[in-house]
């Protein structure tokens, strides 16, 4: 359409509904280009996710909440498709001249005006003290920033939230997350919380659950006045019953009021009671060419404070403005007010006509309505209560049980997505009502298979199952991330992501395009999918992850999924890997913050950023290595590695290194290992860039950040490439204009050259690009997938990666940078934290029941240093599990106090101990209330380490037999041989087994193990019996070579220095061989 004929459409309000309308209009208007859009927003921010407002307290970055980054607006700016005004208040509408006037003096003309002004939080101005310092509302970014700033100045005081609805519980959660207030109290005038969504039983269950999380709730209380001091600061509140409460902060979350003042002043009709701009089914107001949508609109004298009805209004209006010429216009119908949320960790949902039993049904299916009589109660409730699991469900049916009208659920909302369409479609049920509550799902059924295409999956953005399926089938979306970007599903509250992922996966499978990359039998999700679920739902423990995404909700997982979940936790929340809730998830090296070596000792590698180190630090490293007889070696990443540190010595070694100004190098972790550098312009005459300076800055930025696999970097000061930056996960090569950035390379078993991502990048721009690249990798890579393999598997490869991190194709660059900054800001030294924490420090002992120590592998002197002898040539393939039947006698023996295992049942791996009994080492566990005991030695390589292995469990069958053996297994931390703790059999190597023993705790406070006599035990399992000795590995692999070259120490043969003789032609010759560059005469 010609520019002069386009319709100018002005939107007042840039909130979630306003931007949803604009997005939909732009999409629908792509071909015809009828409209030039101008949006005027009062706040200084672009449209942000108000549903996720609470997360602002964690990251403090409004950009993380943006529904679209600034680049998106600029992308649509050409040709006047979209113009925007931020921080601009519209003060007047003139319908006669079709203009709106702004507070800054601007006057904007319109052909069509859409009001999406939203609502204001209610502040009870009739309450004395409502204007005091310390009184807040919970509505906008500015409200939150003010609350945060105030909280920082009033740490240790009491904070209060007035209002027990959805917004009130969100506000209370936010104030608790602030960690400024000693106590947070919630005041509700009704007898239970969420009284608009739940009945008394359900509401009181929510009270019970959130109270257990630390929130104090005061019910049936109304604030009469706010107590202030002489400077008008809040000091407390007086309730209408006369009771007083001390507090410094009061946040009102008692509802919202439609912002209709602008419309009223323009003569547009508004609702007298409750407010709101009156609209008809087309969303037209009383004035031609003016529409209203969202919370400011009153439809049939109702306003809606939820996002979903506003999105539906945006759908209807955008459709009618663009498609009504060729399609029948849509009308706005009674919206679905179903709600599913997680509030303070509690799953809450209400759907359909959830108060039909109290207020009577708002409507009935046609067949049920015909059966209705005047004196007949047309609604019956089916209620399910589980006080142990704290689950409550109430479903409302017509009296004949044929139609579901609505309901509510607490604790378990897994059936919500199925029940909502049943109510909306008003289909007659073909199953008994009880089956909706008690009926068991099919094994592995996630609820997506039997949903109709018109089933709403994302209520925030009104995305149906069909929308998701079609976006995949037409080739638009090939990843879950693309589905989110294309359909907006999962970009609101995020609660629909598991189902979105399931629908995507199923559709890809049906198309023959799916490659299953599930973590293990416990999860039907890839590592990337699980990362998204954990991130969106903010899961912090393995039980939470299992309940939300696991195939067996009660399982403790296995050696495959536990480390992956631990890695995701570290990548998202960056808590200490040895904390109680996560220590049992850590694999081998992370378990004790050092690489475990062949003889059960550990390596210690302090961080040496970019390979630069002072002489003083070198001296300390030498002193430590000498004191503890550690084998030392320079690593390929320009670090100094000290091998042979005993577990019980690690704390003392770390303490000495920390005192000298060093810290953990994270060489044990799937994280940034090193950023290698040449000397660059610091010393090199060829250098064109400061490679050391850049490498130090990069390594210091990304140190400790966990990722799907290890990450290595390199920085070279010129094209001579001495740092080998082009075979690293990321590498920089200095140019005259900046740095060329290479990505996706690695050495290792399958080496790959890295690829050029960007050229001549200014030094100041290097970090933002690396932030995006690394964070995108962390979010989307599979378990243990290096960046090289990830980039190869990425749809579109390097080209697509450039589009994402350089061109912001997905609109997530700001989010990637912000998330990386959060991780950078959360850095702490794991070694120092372990040294300071007595609970963590107590874990660094060889034996839990004695200070004695035992060596399990002989050492030998090699090139002037001590090292363990080589692995034995064969495994110990004796029938260890058969020992149970061969002992001459057994008796219950106390081995350790039961208090050692305190808290074991609440941790994902239980608690384990290495027990010394005579010369025998025993591994003892408490897992899920039961004790297990076995030999400590893994027979595969005769390594004494089973107590440090990960515990695994099978996925529980749908109907387990009472006689079925469900013993867990332990996975050896060395080579993942899995031994059943009941039978002793090895699950993945039938030639191996371990001895197992009965164990129990008793009233005297000790754990007892049923053991044979010590002499018999030592003869079968003693450390001396199975110690790895020199010669067990056979002849040296260098034996023949050494004989050939007559090796002696470090040199093949000493070159004798003879007299220098001038030969013919002036050549220099002598007993020691040639001159500079000549080869030694072996």
Rounded average pLDDT per 10-residue block, the chain, 1082 residues: 79 95 90 91 92 80 90 88 94 96 95 95 91 92 90 93 88 87 93 87 88 90 93 94 94 92 95 92 96 95 89 92 77 85 81 85 76 66 86 90 90 86 84 77 51 78 84 79 73 65 80 68 86 90 90 85 89 89 86 89 93 94 94 90 93 94 92 92 86 92 92 92 91 85 82 88 85 94 88 87 92 92 92 92 91 90 89 88 94 94 88 94 93 94 92 73 69 89 88 94 94 95 92 82 76 47 43 36 29
pLDDT for position 1061: 45
pLDDT for position 1071: 40
DSSP code for 774: H
Q: What are phi and psi of 630, to 5 degrees?
A: -95, 135
- Give CA–CA dist 642/284, Å, rounded: 76
DSSP code for 1047: -
Task: Give me the count of residues in the chain.
Answer: 1082
With H, G, I as helix, E, B as strand and everything else as coil, classify residue 736: coil
- Give CA–CA dist 895/901, Å, rounded: 13
Helix (H) or strand (E) holding 667: none
pLDDT for position 1074: 36
pLDDT for position 630: 94
pLDDT for position 1072: 40
Residue 212: count other Cβ atoms within 10 Å of its Cβ. Answer: 12
pLDDT for position 495: 60
pLDDT for position 494: 57
934 and 971 Cβ atoms separated by less than 8 Å? no
Helix (H) or strand (E) holding 1023: helix 1023-1026
Token pair of 919 as six digits: 């010369």
489 and 463 Cβ atoms separated by less than 8 Å? yes
Helices (H), 196-282: 200-211, 261-265
pLDDT for position 328: 67
412 and 548 Cβ atoms separated by less than 8 Å? no
- Give CA–CA dist 569/908, Å, rounded: 14
- Give CA–CA dist 274/251, Å, rounded: 22
pLDDT for position 450: 62
pLDDT for position 441: 47
pTM for this prediction? 0.53
DSSP code for 433: H
**β-pair partners for 937:** 944
- Give CA–CA dist 945/937, Å, rounded: 6
According to DSSP, the β-strands at 978-980 and 996-997 are: unpaired
pLDDT for position 523: 87
């Amino acid at each position: 359409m010609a520019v002069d004929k386009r319709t100018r459409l002005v939107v007042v309000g840039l909130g979630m509904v306003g931007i949803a309308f604009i997005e939909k209009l732009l999409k629908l208007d792509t071909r015809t280009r009828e409209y030039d859009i101008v949006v005027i927003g009062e706040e200084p921010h672009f449209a942000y996710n108000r549903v996720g407002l609470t997360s602002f307290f964690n990251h403090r970055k409004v950009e993380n909440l943006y529904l679209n980054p600034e680049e998106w607006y600029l992308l649509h700016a050409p040709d006047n498709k979209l113009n925007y005004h931020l921080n601009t208040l519209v003060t007047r509408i003139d319908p006669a001249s079709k203009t709106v006037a702004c507070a800054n003096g601007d006057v904007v003309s319109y052909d069509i005006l859409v009001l999406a002004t939203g609502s204001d939080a209610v502040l009870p101005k009739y309450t004395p003290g409502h204007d005091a310092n310390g009184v807040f509302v919970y509505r906008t970014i500015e409200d939150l920033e003010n609350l945060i700033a105030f909280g920082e100045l009033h740490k240790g005081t009491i904070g209060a939230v007035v209002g027990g609805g959805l917004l009130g519980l969100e506000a209370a959660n936010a104030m608790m997350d602030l960690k400024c207030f000693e106590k947070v109290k919630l005041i509700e005038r009704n007898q239970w919380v969420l009284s608009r969504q739940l009945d008394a039983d359900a509401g009181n269950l929510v009270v019970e659950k959130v109270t257990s999380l630390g929130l104090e709730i005061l019910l049936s209380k109304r604030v009469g006045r706010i107590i202030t001091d002489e400077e008008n600061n809040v000091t407390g509140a007086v309730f209408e019953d006369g009771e007083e409460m001390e507090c410094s902060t009061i946040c009102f979350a008692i509802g919202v009021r439609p912002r209709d003042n602008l419309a009223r002043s323009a003569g547009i009709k508004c609702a007298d009671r409750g407010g709101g701009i009156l609209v008809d089914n087309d969303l037209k107001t009383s004035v031609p060419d003016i529409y209203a949508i969202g919370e400011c609109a009153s439809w049939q004298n109702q306003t809606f404070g939820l996002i979903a009805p506003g999105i539906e209004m945006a759908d209807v209006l955008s459709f009618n403005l663009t498609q009504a010429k060729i399609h029948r216009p849509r009308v706005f119908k009674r919206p679905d007010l179903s709600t599913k949320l997680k509030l303070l960790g509690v799953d809450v949902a209400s759907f359909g006509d959830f108060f039909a039993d109290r207020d009577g049904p708002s409507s009935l299916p046609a067949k049920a309505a015909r059966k209705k009589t005047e004196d007949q109660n047309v609604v019956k409730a089916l209620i399910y209560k589980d006080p142990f699991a704290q689950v409550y469900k109430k479903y409302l049916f017509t009296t004949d049980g044929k139609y579901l009208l609505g309901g509510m659920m607490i604790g378990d909302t897994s059936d919500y997505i199925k029940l909502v369409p049943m109510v909306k479609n008003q289909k007659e049920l073909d199953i008994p009502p009880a089956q909706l509550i008690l009926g068991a799902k099919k094994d592995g059924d996630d609820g997506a298979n039997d949903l109709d295409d018109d089933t709403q999956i994302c209520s925030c953005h009104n995305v149906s199952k069909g929308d998701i399926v079609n976006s995949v089938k037409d080739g638009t979306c090939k990843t879950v991330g693309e589905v989110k970007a294309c359909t907006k599903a999962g970009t609101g509250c995020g609660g629909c992501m598991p189902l979105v992922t399931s629908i995507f996966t199923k559709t890809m499978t049906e198309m023959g395009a799916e490659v299953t990359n599930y973590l293990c039998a416990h999860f039907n999700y890839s590592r990337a999918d699980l990362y998204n679920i954990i991130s969106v739902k903010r899961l912090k423990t393995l039980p939470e992850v299992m309940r939300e995404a696991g195939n067996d909700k009660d399982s403790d997982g296995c050696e495959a999924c536990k480390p992956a979940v631990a890695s995701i936790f570290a990548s998202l929340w960056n808590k200490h890997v040895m904390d109680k809730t996560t220590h049992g998830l850590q694999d081998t090296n992370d378990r004790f913050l050092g690489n475990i070596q062949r003889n059960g000792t550990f390596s210690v590698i302090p961080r040496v950023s970019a390979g630069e180190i002072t002489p003083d630090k070198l001296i300390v490293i030498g002193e430590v290595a000498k004191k503890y007889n550690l084998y030392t070696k320079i690593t390929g990443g320009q670090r100094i590695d000290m091998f042979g540190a005993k577990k019980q010595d690690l704390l003392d070694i770390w303490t000495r290194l920390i005192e000298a100004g060093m810290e953990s190098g994270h060489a044990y972790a799937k994280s940034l290992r090193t950023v290698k550098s040449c000397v660059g312009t610091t010393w090199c005459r060829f250098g064109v860039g400061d490679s050391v300076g850049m490498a130090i800055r990069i390594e210091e930025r990304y140190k400790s950040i966990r990722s799907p696999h290890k990450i290595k970097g390199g920085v070279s000061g010129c094209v001579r490439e001495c740092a080998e930056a082009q075979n690293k996960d990321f590498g920089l090569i200095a140019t005259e204009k900046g740095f060329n950035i290479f990505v996706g390379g690695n050495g290792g078993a399958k080496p790959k050259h890295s690829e050029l991502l960007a050229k001549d990048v200014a030094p100041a721009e290097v970090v933002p690009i690396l932030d995006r690249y690394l964070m995108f990798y962390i979010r989307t890579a599979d378990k243990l997938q290096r960046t090289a393999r990830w980039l190869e598997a990425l749809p579109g490869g390097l080209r697509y990666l450039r589009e994402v991190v350089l061109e912001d194709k997905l609109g997530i660059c700001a989010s990637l940078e912000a998330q990386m900054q959060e991780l950078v800001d959360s850095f702490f030294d794991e070694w120092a934290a372990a040294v300071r924490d007595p609970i963590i420090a107590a874990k660094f002992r060889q034996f839990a029941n004695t200070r004695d120590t035992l060596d399990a592998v002989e050492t030998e002197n090699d090139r002037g240093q001590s090292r363990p002898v080589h692995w034995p040539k064969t495994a110990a393939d004796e029938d260890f599990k058969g020992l149970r039947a061969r002992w001459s006698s057994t008796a219950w023996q106390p081995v350790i106090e039961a208090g050692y295992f305190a808290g074991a049942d609440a941790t994902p791996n239980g608690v384990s101990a290495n027990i010394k009994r005579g010369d025998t080492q025993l591994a003892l566990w408490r897992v899920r209330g039961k004790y297990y005991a076995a030999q400590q030695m893994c027979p595969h390589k005769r390594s004494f380490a089973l107590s440090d292995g990960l515990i695994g469990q099978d996925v529980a069958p749908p109907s387990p037999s009472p006689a079925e053996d469900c013993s867990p297994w332990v996975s050896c931390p060395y080579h993942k041989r899995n031994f059943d703790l009941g039978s002793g059999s090895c699950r993945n190597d039938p030639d191996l087994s371990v001895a197992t023993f009965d164990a129990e705790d008793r009233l005297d406070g000790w754990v007892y193990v049923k053991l044979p006599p010590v002499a018999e035990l030592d003869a079968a399992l003693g450390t001396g019996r199975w110690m790895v000795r020199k010669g067990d590995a056979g002849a040296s692999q260098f034996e023949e070579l050494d004989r050939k070259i007559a090796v002696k120490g470090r040199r093949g043969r000493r070159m004798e220095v003879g007299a220098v003789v001038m030969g013919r032609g002036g050549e220099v010759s002598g007993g020691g061989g040639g001159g500079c560059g000549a080869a030694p005469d072996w």
